[in-house]
Amino acid sequence: MSTAFAFPCSDNNHQVSIVGTHLEDNFIDIIKANKNVHPALKSKIPSNVKLYKFNSFHDLLKKADLIVIGVSSKGIHWASEQLTKIKSNQQILILTKGLYVNKKNRYEVYPDTVKNFLIKKGIKSFKISVAAGPCLASDLSNRVFTNVIFANRDISVVRKLSKMISTSYYKINCSKDIMGVAVCGGIKNIYAIQRTHRNGLCKNSQAKYIHISEVDKILKFVDHVVSFLPESKETNNIFDMNFFSKMNQNACFYNFELMSKVVYDT
């Protein structure tokens, strides 16, 4: 998703740098050798987007107005460790989806995971936002319309980001409910399966069979996740928000079948 996210940023004429992890040096070489066509997305990366190997990260970090984290969920702690030299009041946007079980055996959303790590390292001046919504990387890199949501407890932060990044195909809603957005972003595919079946939106017979057999388990898992979340004054009942707080109704039902397919493919 990090590479796909560069497309709306590029289309807004921002200077964009994509930095691979220390495990992706060879992958960067492959993309460059393929004339900047991403082998998975099948899309050519815009010419004003620059690709770098990880050894360039800390130099680029000094100049970044916005740091976007798009590593896999297993890499969220590694990514946090790379941010110990961020500048004061640094803007950070998390694309990574998932939940972390902390030492208190409670679920923790990734914005809090990164925040808690940085605070332990003595870093207190930063702004962490989270992005979520029905958006596939392959669609975004082909500029297919989607409607997402950015959240920060200070909503003015994401309103500014929205103005910076929104395009005609990448519409951004804003919320201060960072807990609700991060949780729903982490488990939306599970909820999507249940809603897809209930609304008769699935056309694939095999997938529909999985939906029917798994509905009870899905609902129990959702209840389990919510019960292990820390109390939030912002979110009384996460799923009363119909995926994401204040999100456009049409966006919630956007391409449920594709969202479900992600679960089976990964």
For 179-229, how does the pLDDT look when each residue is reduced to its tens digit (9 = 90+)?
888 887 877 766 666 655 555 554 444 444 444 455 566 556 666 666 655
Give mean pLDDT, residues 61-79.
90
- Catalogue all structural domains in the chain, each as residue range(s) with its CATH number: 2-178 (3.40.50.720), 180-265 (no CATH)
Q: For the chain, what percent of residues have pLDDT higher than 70? A: 70
One-letter amino acid at 92 equals: I
Torsion of Cα atoms, 102 then 104 then 109 then 112, to 10°: -90
CB 134 within 8 A of CB 114: no
DSSP H helices in 20-149: 25-33, 57-61, 76-81, 110-120, 137-141
> Highest mean pLDDT: which of 20-24, 103-107, 249-253?
20-24
CA dist., res. 82 & res. 94, Å (int):
14
pLDDT tens column, 106-156: 788 899 999 999 999 999 899 999 998 878 888 888 898 988 899 999 999
Helices 256-265 and 178-198: crossing angle in degrees, nearest 10, is 100
Question: Does residue 19 surpass a pLDDT of 50?
Answer: yes
φ and ψ at residue 138, rounded to 5 degrees: -65, -35
Query: What is the token pair recorded at 251?
Result: 């966006």
| Chain length of the chain | 266
Q: What is the 8-class DSSP label of residue 233?
A: S
